[in-house]
Structure 1
Amino acid sequence: MSPLHNLPEETLILLLKKKNQQAFSYLYDNYSEALYGVVCRIVASSEHAEEVIQDVFVKIWKHVDLFDAEKGRLYTWMISIARNTALDYRKSKAVLNEQKNQPLSNIVNSKEEQDQTQIEQSAKADFIGFRNILDKLKPEWRILIEMAYYEGYTQQEIAEQLDVPLGTVKTRTRAAFLQLQQLLKEYR
């Protein structure tokens, strides 16, 4: 067991900002699976997800000084980095070209692999209790958060998928975030 095992988040953040290798190893060991789950939901293959997760941890290491505890928890900040990095990767020209040139059998196999990975990662991501917090949201709010942050949909895509106006998606998403923020404060 790591000597950092029961370290308060504030102390962990201070160590990370001092570029402490042991603190970063602890962070990776305890959060990589949950972040990998977020990335897998957005990126089509586990091979690509592994590349993205490396980029995510490099960004966390390089930019930990930008983390502001007043704006939220460390885990929430890391999820945001993981999600944005995965979305950037998925939208990159190389990935789009690769997807266009894939045989149909690869697409089907990739989708099956992604579905299995999502099931496995969803179970693993709950170790931090976020699933319990998310389950406290209204169902119409929870689906928006899941589609945006776990599946990588844009607000426009969510509006099209759910057949609701874009303004409604934006309003509900804002309300969901406000309630999530309150629930996370209570969780602390």
Structure 2
Amino acid sequence: MSILLENHIVELLLERNDKAMSLLYEHYGDTLLGVAFKVVRNEELAQDVLQESFMKIWKNSDRYDPNKAKLFTWLFRIVRNTSIDKLRSVNTKSDKEIQIDVSDVYKLGTEGVNPELMDVQDNLDKLDDKYQIVLDALFFQGMTQQEASDELNIPLGTIKSRLKIGLRELRKIYGSVLLLTSMLYIF
């Protein structure tokens, strides 16, 4: 795809012009459907994911920043994350159907847990920027460590170190049990 066409699509998205969606579908639809299918391994689910993804793209078009990522990278992440969410949703639904009689599996002891303290993302601002960036990429943008390394242009070893130190710093804020519980809510 030419840079001119990509820039035109971005402009249309930012203007909330319907033409942007038809251009996106025309130029990226097949590839993004392939991304969804690779994750969910089901044609019908992949089509649902693509439709949901395009709705998210439209709703969040003002969040796209060409200085942070190419348009395809941004689209790819939305489709990939939506695919993962869909797969988890389907798996959770089937798990619940299987475990109808089991109500106490995986009960977490939450006595004394203050719900206001459970939002890890709100407490990231208490960490140094270098740790915030890595934790945000890994936990809230759904990147793997290698993807974060590539996207942030930071060596993989540094990503791993910053993850470890960032989690240690959050543990100081929450305490080890609270951090584990908080991280479970993320996934």
TM-score (norm 1): 0.50
Q: 2:92 aligns with which of 76, 89, 96?
A: 96
- Could you list the structure 1 runs, at least 4 aligned residues long, displaced by more than 3 angstroms after superposition: 5-8, 94-102, 172-179
- 1:39 paired with 2:25, answer no
Matches within 5 A, 1:22-61: 22-61=19-58
Within-5 A mapping of 1:74-153: 74-92=71-89, 94-98=90-94
The sequence identity of aligned pairs, in percent, is 34
State how 1:161-176 maps to structure 2 within 5 Å: 170=145, 172-176=146-150
Decide whether aligned partners of structure 1 residues 69 and 42 sit closer, same or farther in structure 2, where only a CA change above 3 A counts.
Answer: same
Q: 2:28 corresponds to which letter in structure 1? A: Y
- 1:175 and 1:65, CA in 2 relative to 1: closer, same or farther beyond 3 A? closer
Q: Which amino acid letter does the alignment assign opposite residue 28 of structure 1? A: Y
In structure 2, C-alpha distance between the alignment counterparts of 1:176 and 1:16, rounded to whole Å:
26
The amino acid across from 1:81 in the alignment is I
Quote the Cα distance in structure 1 between the aligned partners of 2:83 and 2:18.
Answer: 25
Deviation at 1:173, TM superposition (A): 4.6
Q: Would you say how many aligned residue pairs link Structure 1 and Structure 2?
A: 111
The answer to whether structure 1 residue 12 and structure 2 residue 19 are counterparts is no
Closer/same/farther in 2, CA of residues 98 and 80 from structure 1, 3 Å limit = same
* Bigger Rg over Cα: 2
The 2-side partners of 1:38 and 1:75 are apart by 12
Classify 1:65/1:98 alpha carbon distance in 2 versus 1 (closer, same or farther; 3 Å): same
Runs of 5+ in structure 2 lacking a partner?
Answer: 99-141, 154-187
Structure 1 stretches of 5 or more lacking a match? 103-152, 156-169, 180-188
For residues 95 and 50 of structure 1, the distance between their equivalents in structure 2, rounded to whole angstroms, comes to 18
Q: Which moved more, 1:41-50 or 1:58-67?
A: 41-50
**How far off is 1:154 after superposition?**
8.1
1:93-119 CA-to-partner distances (Å, cap 9, x unmatched) read x443337879xxxxxxxxxxxxxxxxx
Select the residue among 71, 88, 109 that pairs with 2:68.
71
Alpha-carbon separation, structure 2, partners of 1:27 and 1:173? 24
TM-score, with structure 2 as normaliser: 0.50
